[in-house]
Structure 1
Amino acid sequence: MKTPRLLAGFIGINRHLDAEIPELSCARRDATALWALWQDTLPATSPCLLVDEAATHVGIEQLLTRTLDEATEHDTVLLTFSGHGTHNHRLVAYDTSLNDLAATTIAMASLAERFRRSRARHILLVLDCCFSGGAPAKVIEDGLLPRGAGYALEEAFTGRGRVLLAAANVTEEAWESGQHGLLTAALLAALRAASGELAVTSLLTEVSGRVQAEAQRLGAVQTPRWVGEVEGSFALPALQAGPHYYRAFPEQTGLRVSNSLRELSGFGLPEEVLMVWERQFPAGLNELQLAAINEYRVLDGQSLLVVAPTSSGKTFIGELAAVRAAVNTRRTVFLVPYKALANEKYEQFVASYEQSIGLRVIRCTGDYQDATSAFVRGKYDLALLTYEMFLSLLVSRPGVLNRIGAVVLDEAQFITNPGRGISVELLLTYLLTARERGLSPQLVALSAVIGDTNGFEHWLQCRALVHLRRPVPLEEGVIDRAGVFEYVDPATNQAYTTQLLPSSAIVQRGKEPSNQDVIVPLVRQLLAQATTAKVIVFRNMRGKAEGVAGYLARDLHLPGAPAVAAALPAQDQSRTAIRLRECLRGGTAFHNSNLAREEREVIERAFRDPKGGIRVLGATTTIAAGINTPASAVILGETEFTGEDQQPFTIAEYKNMAGRAGRLGYNERGQSFIIARNAMERRHLFQHYVLGRPEDLASSFNSAHLATWVLRLLAQVGQVPRAEVARLLANTYGGYVASRENPAWRPQVQSQLGYLLEQLLSAGIVEQVEDMLRLTVVGEACATSTLSFESVLRLLQLLRRLSITSLTLTRLLALTQALPELDETYTPLFKNGTKEKSWPHEVAQQLGGDLASLYQQSLPSGSGVGVAYLRRSKRALLVEAWLAGTPLEDLEERFTNSAFVPVNYGDIRRIVDATRFHLRSVVPIVQALYPAVSLPDDALNELATRLEVGLSTPALSLLRVTGLTRGEILLLHRHGMSQPQAGWAAVAPVVEAVLGTARAQQLAANWPKPVSPPAAT
């Protein structure tokens, strides 16, 4: 008599060859967990595991042959499939093609036939997929049958001893949540909890109940179906975890490590990544990182708030969590405040993780190069996004959260920022609210030093790791015009005063005393300490940052940096770019928004490089927000921002700037200096900033903007009882803190909401059905936009004054200039200039008199109304000129009417970026308000790209050539080139003649291959 066998196969598919098939997060984990537990419990059965690339159409067919087809009457067959199903009742393989579904999928009819034909005594087939629904459910649309078409499981899968367990009814979706699909999670829980063999009938009943309950938490309906007839004692063993399971899921072991990076292999991190990290961090893991791993279990998937100084290694904790999740097939989102930081991280992650272990790294920052489609479809492992981009995608595409295993939020202290804080708080509120639906990706929030966390970690429902020690000591102090330096020695933590500069070294260099008098001798002395010393001088204005680099280049006589200058774009130079080259000749540079992105990146790389040639960098304050610019010393020329109110730096902002000095791996210690005018100011600044305690974390929530918060929160919940709107606000961090401090806060807010809700209702943004409030179609477009409530109301008023037939993208571009967000965008204006007074007339000529009238009619009340009118007109014309491909030099000259109020590249960039950003919100609102208006997506995408790069439509095709700058594209286009697909051989003579032989050789490898004409028919 033959020995009975258990033939088991486990299939799980996250990834697919076809780029149009959305990817899953948990299917591979589903199969791996079942296989590993089965292998540990019954090692003699040799179960088969097919995941991702191995789970091809042919591979699955071969597994079915080895199990169902070759089984004898003594055998039991267990097969599980986790992945996509289709509406036409087919199982999707790794290599399934949407263009040929019939030949590249496993038909349920074929599977049912094998099911009936098999000689096996018992068969259990588990399908954790669905045949109905949409993303992020485990189904793809195949178009072969109408949605919801019936399929009789009972008729297809019949036979004694044969059981099929399907994740859901054919009209329902099968969902993923957390670590596994709902069906597999329930199956694992039941089998691991069993004390002995578990009868299949009991198992199916328990699993079905668990799935239905968990689906309800998600706000969904999922009812597992099982069909078949159990014969005899059909039971499955209780599953026990062992070496196979713990190798696959090392976070379950409680592993502790020393500072050796090699020991991280126990968490399943690949050898190639560990080698990359060893090169980056030869000293191994530091105290902060070890605490995060061993005590706070960040590599076990635990959420965590990390508060630590600059250069403490906190960002690497985020990377650890991100890479651990990614290699475990759980996608990670890394959120940063600025596009520049996202681009820097993107380059770093590609070099460290894509090239070493093949992780797919993408970025979404609002640029034309974005991989937004890949992000929505889950075609990535690590994604870099800005706060606003992530929030927009979360709200507009809720399904993306189902695919995310970890979220790393860098610079979390931005939640306090008056302008950006709302985006940070709303995206975190969204993540927390999603936990009520069973979605709980790991959250790692990284913050610079703050005061008290003010309950932030409790609101986030995680632990806080607060670490105030720096691995590189920092000597902080204030120096006055007499050269006296008052500082804290990091070795003793005691305050001292010393004559750092001889008074003779500080001489007045201009008509009046200025910070320059101290900065020049101070930088000279700091650079003399070591040949590798580098200094950042922070100034609060773009002009001052350029100025300090200029006079230090003249006074210090440092060796020049010709290689850096040669790496800068050679064409389309702004006035600022010319000044930058002058500074580089003296070994200095500056970093501000007047430089193009390519120029800033060249400067950042050169300053990071010990041999890069730049010894001193003049910079505005934004470079302090995480951009990797290590320095041995930092100087603050001011302690307040510019503007009407001259808001002083917070202590936290000062600490962040000072923390740029003394970076691990670059310097043994750091020094920071604030410049004071006299001894009295020195003592005050020392007490306030150096000895001061950073401010407690706070929300940016402002009751003056209550309507905007309500609108954005309504977009996250769909509908809510009118009496519960205050609860939405209470769920925010601001609401949490306010409720904790004032128990009457919620009733007080409720009393303010009556008038506000009536405004929303009368504006057609919200509608009320019985006691439930929900957004209208127009309201959804408004609520998912970037616009404030005030801006939404103004836009709706403006749109209703314009003829529907006049609503083109070009005119909407101009209309955007009348929104409050653009009115608040700095626009240089010489109030008494003759050019300025001609702008409204030009707008009327180019864009229509009705728009010019609306500019004037919709002005806010108060002083400066006439100036605001001129600024709107100027912005509209500047944007039009930028879109036409006007060179920077011509733009700056045309729109500058006084040397005292120049228009620089940074002003142009700020205006066109704000226009592009908010136009993306304006268009959906117009389409919701007037569905008949045609504003095609491809036309909007093209216009957004043109706004980003400043090119006319005919020149856009040259963007296909990687590495071409705007200036080079404009130059080539003026020489008649606009079709790069002609191939390099055809264009090489023109490129060499226009850009030079050396540059042509650099571009040759990037030139698109020639496009072959279609074959004759």
Structure 2
Amino acid sequence: MPTPRLLAGFIGINRHLDRDISDLSCARRDATALWALWQDTLPNTDPALLVDEDATQARIEELLSQTLDAATEVDTVLLAFSGHGTHSHRIVTHDTDLLNLVDTTISMASLAERFRNSRARHILLVLDCCFSGGASAKVIEDGVQSRGTGFSLENNFAGRGRVLLAAANVDEEAWEAAGHGLLTAALSEALQAAAGPVEVGGLLAEVTGRVRAEAQRLGLTQTPKWVGDFEGGFVIPALHAGQHYYKAFPEQTGLQVSPAIADLAGFGLPEEVLQVWTQQFPQGLNELQLAAVNDYHVLNGESLLVVAPTSSGKTFIGELAAVKAATNSQRAVFLVPYKALANEKFEQFSALYGDTLGLRVIRCTGDFQDATNAFVRGKYDIALLTYEMFLNLVVRSQGTLSRIGVVVIDEAQFITDPGRGISVELLLTYILSARERGITPQLVALSAVIGNTNGFEHWLRCQALISTKRPVPLEEGVIDRTGLFEYVDPETGMSQTRQMLPPHVVVTRREKPSAQDVIVPLAQALLSSEPTAKLIVFRNMRGKAEGVAGYLAKDLGLPEATELIDALPAQDRSSTSARLRDCLRGGTAFHNTNLAREEREVVERAFRAPHGKVRVLGATTTLAAGINTPASAVILGETEFVGEDQRPFTIAEYKNMVGRAGRLGYNERGQSFIVASTPMERKQLFQRYVLGRPEALHSSFASGNLATWVLRLLAQIPQVRRKEVATLLANTYGGYVAGRNNPDWRTQMDANVENIIFDLIRLGIAEQEGPVLQLTLVGFACANSSLSFDSIARLLTLNKSQGMGALSLERLLALTQVLPEMDDTYTPMLRNGNKEKTWPFHATHRIGNDLVQLYQRFLPDPLSYQRRAKRALVVADWIEGMPMETLEQTYSNSPNAVFSGMSPGDVRRIAEATRYHFRSVVPIMQALHPELLLDDEDLNIISTRLEVGLPVDALPLLKIPTLTRGEILLFAQHGVTDAGTPWVEVEPVAQALFGADRCQILVDHWPH
């Protein structure tokens, strides 16, 4: 008699080759967990594991042949599948083609036939998938991943001694949460909890009860269904975790590591990346990172708030969690405040984790290169997004969040920002509310130094790792015009003074005393003391940042950075481009919004290079937020903002700027200097900023924009009882803090919210049916927009105006200028300039008199009428490809554009703000006017043109990644507008326009 065998196979498919099949999160983990437990319990059975790329149609068919078909009368077969199914009752494989489902899937009919015809004594077939849930079988509903509707099994699967366990009953859906399918989780837990061999009949009852209870906890209904019959005793062993399971799920081990990077291999991190990290960090994990791993269990999936100084290594903690998730068949999302920071990390992660590990790295920042479709379908491993893009995508595409294993939010202190804070708080609120539905991505929040956390970590429901220690000590202080430096010694913590500069070197260099008088000799002293020293001088205006780089280029006598000048874009130069070249000739540079993206990238790379030629960088304050530009020393020329903000720096903002000082591996200590005019001012600034404690964390929530908060929160849920709308506010961080500090806050909010609900219904944004409030179609478009409630109300009011005229995308683009958000966008104007008065006249001829008349409504001040017209004209010329220098000249009233004219930064800011809010105006107007046929492709074209400043016929050349705006415009002027044109035809034009050296670069990127 043959020896009884146990033939087992486990299949789990997260990834699919077809770009239109959504990737899953937990299927691979399901199969791997069962396989590992079985391998650890019965190592001699050699169960098969097919996951992702291995789980092709042919390999699965081969596995079925080796198990069901090959089994004898004494064998037991155990098969488990986790993945997609279809309406037509077919199992989706890794290489399934949506356009050819019949030939590229495994039909349930063929599986049932094998099931019936198998000679095996016992069969247990576990199907944690759906068979009638649509093309993407595990459809998403309310953020929990659905595995679709059940399938009538009785007539297909029958036979004694064999059982099929399906994920759900015929009229239900199967779900997954917390890293596993509910069915697979219950099955593995039951088998591990058993004291001895498990009788299958009892196992099925236990699993059914567990799944039903867990689904009820999540507010769902799911009842596993089994069909079949038993013949004799059908018993399978209890399972226990061993080396295979802990290798696959190392977070279960409670591993402790030393500073050695190699120790992280115990968490399942690949050897290739550990080698790269070891080269990057030869000293190993620092104290902060070690605490995050060993004490706060960040690699075990625990959520964590990390508050630490700039350059302390906290970003690497988020990176550790992200790579751990990505290499463990989960997805990681990195959220950052600025597109520039997202682009920098995208390049860094693509080179490191894409090239080294083959991970799929994408970005979504609102640019034309965005991989939005890949993000929504889960076809990535690590994604870089700005706050606003993430919030928009997860709210609009229900279920996107359930595909994510870890969310890392960098610069989390932005929750306090008056402009950006609402996006940070709303996305965190969305993540927290999703936990009630079983969606539990790990959250790693990284913040620069703040004061009291004010309960932030309690609201986030995680621990807080707080440190004020820097890897490189910082000598932080204030210097006055006498050259006396008052500072805190980082070793002793004591306040001290020393004569940093001889008094006679600080002289008045212009008509009257200024910060320049101190900055010049201070920079000379700092750079002469260290051959590789790097210096950042922060100024509060773009013009001052350019100015400090300019006069230091003349006074310091640094070597010329000729190779960097050659690397700058040669075409579409602005007045700023010329000033940058002048600075580089003196070994300095500046960094502000007047620079084109390519220019900023050249400057950033040159400054961060340890032996790069740029040793001094004049910068505006935005450089302090995350961009990788460490320096030896930092100088602050001012401690207050100018313009519309006109407020002193907060202590937290100041600490973030000076935190750039001190480069690990290059300096034993960093230095920072605030420039003061007098000894008295030196003492005051020292007390306020150097000795001051950063402000407590707070919400940007304010009663003045309460309606905006209510509307944006309503977008996160399908409907809510009217009396519970105030609860949505209470769930925000602002509501949490206010409710904690004021027991009457909720009662006060109820009355305010009632007035807001009345306005929402009156404007047609919301509707009420019985006690339930929900958004209308128009309301949903409004709530998912970037616009404030006041802006939406203005737009809806204008919509009823008789002056709107015919609507088109081009006219909606012009209409966008009347929004309050655009009125708040800085537009340079001379109050008494005659040229400024002509903009409405010119706009009438460009965009139509009816729209220009609308510009006269809702004016915050008399000049707003002219500003709106001016912005509309700037945008119109920008998207038609007007050269930047011509734009500056056309829209400036002063030859000194650095301080008073239309600068390149102003043009790009106006175009970017228009693009951002235009993407909100269109869906709202489309919802108001369903008869309008506003084509999505046309919308994307206009949006791209606003981003890059190109006419329609030049857009195809964006496919050539190395081309700059100026080069594309020149190509278009000479008839080259198709990236598919053979290079042999393009080369003569390129040679004439750009020269041989540039052509050599272009030929390598031109499609062949």
Shorter chain as denominator, the TM-score bin is: over 0.9
Contact 1:214-1:438 at 8 Å conserved across structures: no
Q: Is it true that 1:937 corresponds to 2:936 in the alignment?
A: yes
The 2-side partners of 1:841 and 1:258 are apart by 71
The 2-side partners of 1:798 and 1:928 are apart by 15
Q: What is the DSSP-based 3-state SS (H/G/I as helix, E as strand, rest coil) of the residue aligned with 1:665?
A: coil
The one-letter code sitting in structure 1 at the alignment partner of 2:949 is: G
Q: Is it true that 1:887 corresponds to 2:883 in the alignment?
A: yes
Report matched runs for 1:489-504 at 5 Å. 489-504=489-504
The one-letter code sitting in structure 1 at the alignment partner of 2:902 is: V
The 2-side partners of 1:609 and 1:960 are apart by 29
Which piece of structure 1 moves more, 1000-1009 or 451-460?
Answer: 1000-1009
The one-letter code sitting in structure 1 at the alignment partner of 2:971 is: L
The 1-side partners of 2:222 and 2:513 are apart by 75
Report matched runs for 1:750-789 at 5 Å. 750-789=750-789
The one-letter code sitting in structure 2 at the alignment partner of 1:881 is: D
Contact 1:84-1:140 at 8 Å conserved across structures: no
Which residue of structure 2 aligns with residue 1007 of structure 1? 1006
Which residue of structure 2 aligns with residue 875 of structure 1? 871
Which residue of structure 1 aligns with residue 324 of structure 2? 324
Which residue of structure 1 aligns with residue 922 of structure 2? 923
The one-letter code sitting in structure 2 at the alignment partner of 1:628 is: N
Contact 2:839-2:869 at 8 Å conserved across structures: yes
The one-letter code sitting in structure 2 at the alignment partner of 1:977 is: V
Q: Deviations over 1:631-670 (max 9, x none)?
A: 0000000000112462000001000000000022332210
Sequence identity of aligned pairs in percent? 68
The one-letter code sitting in structure 2 at the alignment partner of 1:718 is: P
Q: What is the root-mean-square deviation of aligned Cα atoms in Å?
A: 1.5
The one-letter code sitting in structure 2 at the alignment partner of 1:583 is: C
Q: Deviations over 1:863-902 (max 9, x none)?
A: x2x2001000000010000010100011111111223621
Q: Deviations over 1:801-859 (max 9, x none)?
A: 25787110000001110001000000001222232211112222221111011110232
Q: 1:438 to 1:26 in 2, by over 3 A?
A: same
Q: 1:231 to 1:734 in 2, by over 3 A?
A: same
Which residue of structure 2 aligns with residue 362 of structure 1? 362
Consecutive unaligned residues in structure 1, runs of 5 or more = 142-146, 1010-1017
Contact 1:130-1:170 at 8 Å conserved across structures: no
Q: Using the TM superposition, give the Cα deviation of residue 137 of structure 1 relative to its aligned residue in structure 2, in angstroms.
A: 5.7
The one-letter code sitting in structure 2 at the alignment partner of 1:942 is: I
Contact 2:149-2:174 at 8 Å conserved across structures: no
The one-letter code sitting in structure 2 at the alignment partner of 1:153 is: L
Which residue of structure 1 aligns with residue 258 of structure 2? 258
The 1-side partners of 2:834 and 2:822 are apart by 23
Contact 1:10-1:79 at 8 Å conserved across structures: yes
Contact 2:149-2:173 at 8 Å conserved across structures: no
Q: What is the DSSP-based 3-state SS (H/G/I as helix, E as strand, rest coil) of the residue aligned with 1:493?
A: coil
The 2-side partners of 1:291 and 1:793 are apart by 50
Q: What is the DSSP-based 3-state SS (H/G/I as helix, E as strand, rest coil) of the residue aligned with 2:273?
A: helix
Q: Using the TM superposition, give the Cα deviation of residue 907 of structure 1 relative to its aligned residue in structure 2, in angstroms.
A: 0.2
Q: What is the DSSP-based 3-state SS (H/G/I as helix, E as strand, rest coil) of the residue aligned with 1:980?
A: coil
Which residue of structure 1 aligns with residue 703 of structure 2? 703
Q: Is it true that 1:393 corresponds to 2:393 in the alignment?
A: yes
Q: What is the DSSP-based 3-state SS (H/G/I as helix, E as strand, rest coil) of the residue aligned with 1:558?
A: coil
The 1-side partners of 2:831 and 2:804 are apart by 35
Contact 1:131-1:170 at 8 Å conserved across structures: no
Q: Deviations over 1:208-250 (max 9, x none)?
A: 2322333344444433221111222212221100111011111
The 1-side partners of 2:328 and 2:140 are apart by 24
The one-letter code sitting in structure 1 at the alignment partner of 2:637 is: G
The 2-side partners of 1:390 and 1:216 are apart by 29
Q: 1:644 to 1:383 in 2, by over 3 A?
A: closer
Contact 1:564-1:612 at 8 Å conserved across structures: no
Which residue of structure 1 aligns with residue 895 of structure 2? 899
Which residue of structure 1 aligns with residue 144 of structure 2? none
Contact 1:486-1:497 at 8 Å conserved across structures: yes
The 2-side partners of 1:85 and 1:315 are apart by 39
The 1-side partners of 2:477 and 2:525 are apart by 16
Q: Using the TM superposition, give the Cα deviation of residue 498 of structure 1 relative to its aligned residue in structure 2, in angstroms.
A: 1.4
The 2-side partners of 1:955 and 1:559 are apart by 39
The 1-side partners of 2:253 and 2:797 are apart by 61
Q: Using the TM superposition, give the Cα deviation of residue 201 of structure 1 relative to its aligned residue in structure 2, in angstroms.
A: 2.1
The one-letter code sitting in structure 1 at the alignment partner of 2:1001 is: Q
Report matched runs for 1:292-371 at 5 Å. 292-371=292-371
Which piece of structure 1 moves more, 838-847 or 287-296?
Answer: 838-847
Q: Deviations over 1:2-22 (max 9, x none)?
A: 221111000011111111111
Q: What is the DSSP-based 3-state SS (H/G/I as helix, E as strand, rest coil) of the residue aligned with 1:155?
A: coil
Q: Is it true that 1:167 corresponds to 2:144 in the alignment?
A: no
Q: What is the DSSP-based 3-state SS (H/G/I as helix, E as strand, rest coil) of the residue aligned with 1:174?
A: strand
The one-letter code sitting in structure 1 at the alignment partner of 2:875 is: V
Contact 2:479-2:486 at 8 Å conserved across structures: yes
Contact 1:471-1:664 at 8 Å conserved across structures: yes
Which residue of structure 2 aligns with residue 464 of structure 1? 464
The 1-side partners of 2:884 and 2:84 are apart by 51
Report matched runs for 1:203-602 at 5 Å. 203-602=203-602
Contact 2:292-2:317 at 8 Å conserved across structures: yes
The 2-side partners of 1:738 and 1:620 are apart by 34
Q: What is the DSSP-based 3-state SS (H/G/I as helix, E as strand, rest coil) of the residue aligned with 1:512?
A: coil
The 2-side partners of 1:548 and 1:237 are apart by 75
Contact 1:85-1:140 at 8 Å conserved across structures: no
The 2-side partners of 1:149 and 1:394 are apart by 24
The one-letter code sitting in structure 1 at the alignment partner of 2:909 is: R
Count of matched residue pairs: 1000
Q: Using the TM superposition, give the Cα deviation of residue 23 of structure 1 relative to its aligned residue in structure 2, in angstroms.
A: 0.3
The 1-side partners of 2:748 and 2:132 are apart by 46
The 1-side partners of 2:114 and 2:316 are apart by 51
Which residue of structure 2 aligns with residue 811 of structure 1? 811
Q: What is the DSSP-based 3-state SS (H/G/I as helix, E as strand, rest coil) of the residue aligned with 2:970?
A: helix
The 2-side partners of 1:965 and 1:18 are apart by 33
Q: Using the TM superposition, give the Cα deviation of residue 152 of structure 1 relative to its aligned residue in structure 2, in angstroms.
A: 3.1
Which residue of structure 1 aligns with residue 666 of structure 2? 666
The one-letter code sitting in structure 1 at the alignment partner of 2:996 is: T
The 2-side partners of 1:794 and 1:470 are apart by 49
Which piece of structure 1 moves more, 630-639 or 838-847?
Answer: 838-847
Q: Deviations over 1:976-1000 (max 9, x none)?
A: 1111202212211111111111111
Contact 2:405-2:442 at 8 Å conserved across structures: yes
Contact 1:957-1:978 at 8 Å conserved across structures: yes
The 1-side partners of 2:998 and 2:196 are apart by 73
Q: What is the DSSP-based 3-state SS (H/G/I as helix, E as strand, rest coil) of the residue aligned with 1:801?
A: coil
Q: Using the TM superposition, give the Cα deviation of residue 42 of structure 1 relative to its aligned residue in structure 2, in angstroms.
A: 1.1
Consecutive unaligned residues in structure 2, runs of 5 or more = 142-146
Contact 1:84-1:138 at 8 Å conserved across structures: yes
Q: What is the DSSP-based 3-state SS (H/G/I as helix, E as strand, rest coil) of the residue aligned with 1:263?
A: helix
The 1-side partners of 2:148 and 2:124 are apart by 26
Q: Deviations over 1:84-124 (max 9, x none)?
A: 11111111111111122111110000000101110011111
Report matched runs for 1:989-1004 at 5 Å. 989-1004=988-1003
Contact 2:150-2:169 at 8 Å conserved across structures: no
Which residue of structure 2 aligns with residue 839 of structure 1? 839
The 2-side partners of 1:404 and 1:779 are apart by 28
Which residue of structure 1 aligns with residue 794 of structure 2? 794
Which piece of structure 1 moves more, 191-200 or 522-531?
Answer: 191-200
Which residue of structure 1 aligns with residue 180 of structure 2? 180
Q: What is the DSSP-based 3-state SS (H/G/I as helix, E as strand, rest coil) of the residue aligned with 2:509?
A: coil
Q: Using the TM superposition, give the Cα deviation of residue 139 of structure 1 relative to its aligned residue in structure 2, in angstroms.
A: 5.5
Which residue of structure 1 aligns with residue 30 of structure 2? 30
The one-letter code sitting in structure 1 at the alignment partner of 2:157 is: F
